[in-house]
Amino acid sequence: MKFFQHKNRVDDRLESSGEPRLSIAERFPIASSLCAGAFAGAIAKTVIAPLDRTKINFQIRHIPYSLPKAFHFLGESYRKDGLSSWWRGNTATMARVIPYAALQYTAHEQWKKTLRVETREERRKRPFMGFVAGSLAGVTASSLTYPLDLARARMAVSRCEMYKNLGEVFLKIWHHEGPQALYRGFVPSLLGVVPYAGASFFTYEWLKHHRLDLKKQCESRGRLVESRNANSRATETTEKVSVPGELHPMERLACGAIAGLIGQSCSYPLDIVRRRMQTSRLTGKNYRTIRGTILHIWKHEGLRRGLFKGLSMNWIKGPIAVGTSFMVYDVTRNFLGSHYL
C-alpha cells in the first residue's frame, strides 16, 4: 500500500510526456528569488518601522540617547501626530526596501554561483568566499537603490508639511541641492554594507546548516535506539523519519536574529556617518566627508554617545528585522519550490 502511495507522489511530479515537472522555483529561479526577497523585506521593515524611525531621529541629532528617551520620542510622536506618525516614511521605506531586498537576495544567489560557493561542501572549502558573496550582494543592492534610502531618511526626520510624499522629496532635493545630492553619504553606505551583508549572510548560512546537522544527528540516534528494540518498530520508524527534517520557521528566525546582531554591530558607526551625511541639509550641519563627519562626531559626542549612539535600539530592532527577513525568504522559497505549475 505504501509503495503505491509513494508511486502516486512520484507520478504527480511527472508531465504527461513522462518528463519530470518543475516547481515554480525551478522553472523561474530568478523571479522566485525576487518575489521572495521583496516579500521578506516588506514584512521585516514594516514590523520594525517605529523603532527604525526612532533610531534615525537620534542618530542625526546631538540629543543624548537612552532607551527611556527613545520610548519617550515614540510617545511624543503619537501625541502630536497620531499613531500613523510611527510609520511616517514607511512608504519611502517600502519603495526602497522592496527592490533592495529583492535585489540583495537574488544577487546573493547569483554571486554564490559565480564564486562557486553554492553548495555547502563548496562553502566549507572556501569559507571566505561565502562572506564575499554576501558582501557583493549588499553592494549590488545598495548601489541600485541608494537614492530611495536617502529619501526615506529625509522623510523619517522631517515634519509632515515639509515633504508630503516620496516624489516631493526627490523634486526638492534635485531642485535645491542638485542631482549629486541623491548620492550623499553613498561611500560610507558601501563601506558599511560590506561587513554588514557579508557577516549577516555568512553567519546565517553557517548557523542554519549547523542546526540542521544537529537535527540530523538527533534523528539518527533516535532511529538507532528504535532499531535495537524490535525489527518491526525499526521498519516503522525508518518510514517516518527517512527524510531529514527541515528547520522550523522559528529556528530560522533565531539563526537570522543572531546573524543580524553580529552584522549590524560590525558596521554601526558607518551607519551613523551615512545618516548624518544624508540629512545634513535638514539639521544645518555641514557633513561633507566621511573623515570630517567621524571627527566631528568623535569630538563633540564621543565614541559611545556618538558613533555608537542608538546601538542598544539596533540590538532590539536589528535581530527582529534580519531574523524575520531571512525566515520569510526561506519559507517563501520553500513554498515556491514545493508547488508546481
Q: Got the DSSP string for 81-139?
A: H-GGGGGTTHHHHHHHHHHHHHHHHHHHHHHHHHTT--SHHHHHH-HHHHHHHHHHHHH
Tell me which H or E stretch contains 45: helix 29-59
pLDDT value of position 143 = 93
pLDDT tens-digit readout, 272-310: 888 888 777 776 677 878 888 888 888 888 887 788 887
| Stronger pLDDT, 243 or 113, i.e. the higher one | 113
d(CA 133, CA 115): 7
Of the pLDDT bands very low, low, confident and very high (cuts 50, 70, 90), residue 54 is confident
What is the per-residue pLDDT for 21? 79
Q: Check residue 228 and give its pLDDT.
A: 60
Q: What is the pLDDT of residue 104?
A: 98
Q: How confident is the model at residue 235, as a pLDDT?
A: 46
Residue 58 has pLDDT above 80, yes or no: no
Residue 265 banded pLDDT, cuts 50, 70, 90: confident
| Helix/strand/coil (H/E/C) assignment for every residue in 59-88 | HCCCCCCCHHHHHHHHHHHHHHHCHHHHHC
Q: How far is the C-alpha of 21 from the C-alpha of 24, rounded, in Å?
A: 10
Q: What is the pLDDT of residue 253?
A: 95
Best-predicted range by mean pLDDT (46-55, 88-97, 98-107, 186-195): 98-107
| Residue 262, pLDDT above cutoff 60 | yes
Examine the pLDDT at 108 and tell me if it is beyond 90.
yes
Give which of 26, 266, 33 is closest to 131, Cα–Cα.
Answer: 266
Instruction: State the Cα–Cα distance between residues 88 and 241, nearest whole angstrom.
Output: 49
With beta carbons less than 8 A apart as the criterion, state whether 196 and 267 touch: yes
Residue 311 has pLDDT above 60, yes or no: yes
* pLDDT tens track for 174-232: 988 888 888 888 888 898 899 999 999 999 999 998 998 888 888 777 665 566 655 54
pTM, whole model, 2 decimals?
A: 0.76
**According to the model, what pLDDT value does residue 238 have?**
40
What is the spatial distance between Cα 129 and Cα 145, in angstroms, rounded to a whole number?
Answer: 24
Residue 222 has a pLDDT of 65
Q: Is the pLDDT of residue 170 over 60?
A: yes
For the cut 70, the answer to whether the pLDDT of residue 147 exceeds it is: yes
| All structural domains of the chain with their residue ranges | 24-61+81-336
What is the average pLDDT score of the chain?
Answer: 82
The rounded percent of the chain whose pLDDT value lies above 90 is: 31
Ranked by mean pLDDT, the top range of 67-76, 113-122, 249-258, 278-287 is 249-258
CATH of span 24-61+81-336:
1.50.40.10
